[in-house]
Structure 1
Amino acid sequence: MRFTRTLRAVSGAVVAGALLFGTAPAASADYIRDGQWALGAFGADDIRRHSTGKNVIVGVIDSGVDAAHPDLKGNVLQGKSFTHAGGRADHPTQDAHGTAMAAMIAGHGHGANGSAGIMGLAPDAKILPVMTDSTETAVTSSGFAEPLRYAVDQGAKVVNMSFGSGSIDLDEKKAISYALSKDVLLVAATGNDSSSSPQYPAAAPGVLAVGAVAKDGQVWRKSNYGEHVRLLAPGQGIYSAGLDGKYRQSDGTSDSAAYVSAAAALVRSKFPDLTAGQVANRLTRTAITPNGKSDISTPSPKYGYGTVRPFRALTQDIPAGSKYGPLKAPEVEESASEENGGATAGDAGVQKASGGSGIGIPPIVIIGLVLVLLVAALVVVIVVVRRKKNNGGPPPGGPGGFGGPGGHVGFPPHQAGPHQQPSPYGQQPSPYGQQPSSYGQQPNPYGQQPGPYGSYPPVPPAQSPGQ
């Protein structure tokens, strides 16, 4: 599959990419920090008292990441370039998109106590850059499958995918399944067309799809929607890092996905024993909808479970939940040889039979038993016929014996077994797909209800920051 880069396809950046600002004196750099409204909305200072993303690697499949940027120095690994040129991914020269995503995730600022420049939500996380292309053309025949597998194999526990395409191929589906089998949380942007047309990988089962929320807490007007949407995060007027020490401002669901990837890194750092789906469960259970509700049972196609709240995800008492949490199970699985240590499909069947699950009797034994029973039945018939000829009457036992109207000797009348009871499967109403869809039935959240943002501090004084 051929996929396009996302600075235009998903990021929706301002003025053909971004507004770039040079590395300026302290006053200008402070202005950049002050412009990071999402940090205030999230309550970033309080968040850092609970987690900073330490010991978590976040893969960023994008245009590469500028490891020399003052706000990212020390937090960027070498990575790998899947462009035709190959090589490392930590020194891009043409496109700042990947650097911007990385800074929102793991930027640490610069200057005294890191007070200037871009601060990420998870400043102690490490970024694994996986460079795709810097243009509008594809770079590998397998789309994002190879880059994703590489990120997983290099130890990433969260992978940010701020790009999109209208289709997905089998290799990419298998790569997603492979990532989940390795307990990696995949986060992707939904796109910026104000459309319900699915964009991949966001719409693929197993991926946490993220739309954008505006400064007023309502769904950003260009954010794509659909049944696959699970979360929102800030995506309007977002400042971040650019190339050569510069900065940029942009709108788009790319930025939103980066913030959710950072939130996932925070949770994975504090709760390392949770599965990827259980991390997503914490993020969705603590999200807040545009009309102020939390822990809703059914996601809206417009805003999913709501806007992510990292502070709540880190501090609220949330049951771990199932393996996949709010994520749909992947559509395809890895082949048996990859998932079962080289076992073939036939081997898997033998293992199931011999492991105590099911009867497990070899076919040859069953055939032998059938032959024995047939021979025994034939012997009985011969004996009965001979006795009848010899005695001129029925065999001993009278009515009710073998062959009589009373049924077969030794077997009670046939009783209804469990298999004869009505099966509940398919007769009880299934909760999936039969509940009324919230999309189109709930009031349009955009611009109608007051959101959690829009004022500083972003929450009522009676609550703790970030909540």
Structure 2
Amino acid sequence: MATSALLPFGDGSDRVRADQWHLGFLRTAEAHQLSQGEGIVVAVPDTGVEAHPDLEKNLLPGMDVIPGGSGDGRRDANSHGTGMAGLIASHGRGGNRGALGVAPKSKVLPIFDTPANGLGKPDDLAASIEYATAQHADVISISAASTPTPRLKSAIESALEANIVVVAAVGNMPSETSISYPASEQGVIAVGGSDRQGNKAEFSIEGTDVDILAPAVDIYTTSLAGRYRRSTGTSDATAIVAGAAALIRSKYPDLPAQEVAHRLTATAVDKGPPGRDDQYGYGVIDLVAALTADVPPLGFESSDVTPPASAEAAPDKDGDSSSTARGLATLGVLVAAGGGYLFWRRRRRADDPPPRVSR
């Protein structure tokens, strides 16, 4: 679901934060004054998660659902799972050293369900989701594209019924040609990718099930052996949205999962044609608005309440990348929440003037 490259400079901990352009774009410093994901567990079914120095304090013991792991999900021979977990919950190394996640005080529940070659099986993903549900995870972040086997469909439905926010990737062209499962499932937040300017990334799959977009190009995150990777794909966008869901669940602990999804989509910055469209869904994620806007519950319509304006893209640093990543034939990135909900207000245009919002 992504292309990636291992960065060549030392351990990179003194440089990587400046390269994480998506943090400025998302205004994470402002968002972290409101919530850092305290008390929230995000399940990451993937290639396992290595205990990277920037992440290890937030890494719980998990589970292997296939042979070849360490037994607790904390082994990764691919780097994909470690990268996704880092985008969600990296805590860095103090000051501005090391990678920082969107929800740096949340916990990651690692689940090893995909071998190092990146080719997993749908029912292994199903077993991961069943385990995450049994462990009472608050969010499940699935950066994989799969096929809807009966067991996988049942696992997703059970997770949603258990009040878990399920987030999944829509997939990347040309490896996928239509929105992947479980992103296409009703109730799952289907995440596409945006570029540094907040425009839809060319590779991000389009379709009627797209819910929201998040940064997905040149995303710097944790990798193997204490190093870092730069990757591009909807996998990264999914992990970012999963981190956003963790921030919301921490700040609003009594909010049901579908209301968390509603808050994300209702406060997104509308791009493309006015209203929901197949390229952007309901728009590009706005962390600060999602944490501060007065969002009426589902089923109520309003055009009077509008969240804060979204962030501008932050300055960035370029680097080279190579095409080594998780080429999942049966799995894909997942940030889930809902496609069939009523939305409470007119979609806000990206060029609207900044409105005032009660905090």
What is the TM-score normalised by the length of structure 2?
A: 0.81
Shift of 1:304: 0.4
Amino acid corresponding to residue 176 of structure 1 in structure 2: I
Counterparts of 1:251-400 in structure 2, within 5 Å, are 251-291=232-272, 296=275, 299-321=276-298, 326-328=338-340
Distance between the aligned counterparts of 2:115 and 2:337, measured in 1?
A: 34
Amino acid corresponding to residue 80 of structure 1 in structure 2: M
Distance between the aligned counterparts of 2:197 and 2:46, measured in 1?
A: 29
Give RMSD over aligned pairs: 2.6
Contact 2:171 2:180 survives alignment (8 Å): yes
2:148 aligned with 1:168: yes
Shift of 1:139: 5.6
2:111 aligned with 1:134: no
Contact 2:65 2:124 survives alignment (8 Å): no
**What do residues 416-449 of structure 1 show as CA deviations (whole Å, max 9, x unaligned)?**
xxxxxxxxxxxxxxx9xxxxxxxxxxxxxxxxxx
Shift of 1:93: 4.2
Distance between the aligned counterparts of 1:145 and 1:35, measured in 2?
A: 35
Quick one: higher RCO (CA 8 Å, sep 6+), 1 or 2? 2
Larger displacement relative to structure 2 (127-136 or 35-44) = 127-136
* Change in CA separation of 1:137 and 1:120 when aligned onto 2, cut-off 3 Å: closer
Shift of 1:74: 1.2
Contact 1:82 1:139 survives alignment (8 Å): no
Name the SS for the 2:295 alignment partner.
coil
- Residue 369 of structure 1 corresponds to none
Shift of 1:326: 3.7
Name the SS for the 2:15 alignment partner.
helix
Distance between the aligned counterparts of 2:122 and 2:149, measured in 1?
A: 11
Counterparts of 1:187-226 in structure 2, within 5 Å, are 187-193=167-173, 196-226=177-207
Shift of 1:212: 0.3
Shift of 1:137: 6.8
Amino acid corresponding to residue 304 of structure 1 in structure 2: G
- Residue 20 of structure 1 corresponds to 7
Q: Which of 161, 176, 185 in structure 1 is aligned with 2:165? A: 185
Name the SS for the 1:29 alignment partner.
coil
Distance between the aligned counterparts of 2:21 and 2:118, measured in 1?
A: 34
* Change in CA separation of 1:130 and 1:273 when aligned onto 2, cut-off 3 Å: same
* Change in CA separation of 1:104 and 1:141 when aligned onto 2, cut-off 3 Å: closer
2:68 aligned with 1:96: no
Name the SS for the 2:140 alignment partner.
strand
Q: Which of 145, 151, 154 in structure 1 is aligned with 2:132? A: 151
2:38 aligned with 1:54: yes
Contact 2:122 2:148 survives alignment (8 Å): no
Task: Return the index of the structure with the highest Cα Rg.
Answer: 1
Contact 2:168 2:188 survives alignment (8 Å): yes
Name the SS for the 1:21 alignment partner.
coil
Structure 1 vs Structure 2: percent identity of aligned residues? 37
* Change in CA separation of 1:22 and 1:198 when aligned onto 2, cut-off 3 Å: same
Distance between the aligned counterparts of 2:65 and 2:169, measured in 1?
A: 21
Distance between the aligned counterparts of 1:150 and 1:130, measured in 2?
A: 9
Distance between the aligned counterparts of 1:196 and 1:107, measured in 2?
A: 32
Shift of 1:154: 0.9
**What do residues 362-385 of structure 1 show as CA deviations (whole Å, max 9, x unaligned)?**
xxxxxxxxxxxxxxxxxxxxxxxx
Q: Which of 12, 20, 33 in structure 2 is aligned with 1:36? A: 20
* Change in CA separation of 1:281 and 1:141 when aligned onto 2, cut-off 3 Å: closer
Amino acid corresponding to residue 108 of structure 1 in structure 2: H
Contact 1:33 1:117 survives alignment (8 Å): yes
Name the SS for the 1:99 alignment partner.
helix
**What do residues 236-285 of structure 1 show as CA deviations (whole Å, max 9, x unaligned)?**
00000001101000100000000000000000001111111100000000
Between Structure 1 and Structure 2, the one with more helix by share is 1
Amino acid corresponding to residue 84 of structure 1 in structure 2: P
Long gaps (5+) in structure 1: 1-9, 330-430, 432-449, 453-458
Distance between the aligned counterparts of 1:134 and 1:199, measured in 2?
A: 20
Shift of 1:66: 1.1
Name the SS for the 1:100 alignment partner.
helix
Distance between the aligned counterparts of 2:179 and 2:131, measured in 1?
A: 25
- Residue 417 of structure 1 corresponds to none
Shift of 1:87: 4.6
* Change in CA separation of 1:255 and 1:33 when aligned onto 2, cut-off 3 Å: same
- Residue 218 of structure 2 corresponds to 237
Contact 2:173 2:205 survives alignment (8 Å): yes
Distance between the aligned counterparts of 2:283 and 2:194, measured in 1?
A: 9
Runs of 4+ residues deviating >3 angstroms: 21-24, 135-141, 322-329
Amino acid corresponding to residue 101 of structure 1 in structure 2: M
Contact 2:189 2:337 survives alignment (8 Å): no
Long gaps (5+) in structure 2: 301-335, 343-348
Aligned residues: 314
Shift of 1:220: 0.3
Name the SS for the 2:98 alignment partner.
strand
Shift of 1:138: 5.5
What is the TM-score normalised by the length of structure 1?
A: 0.63
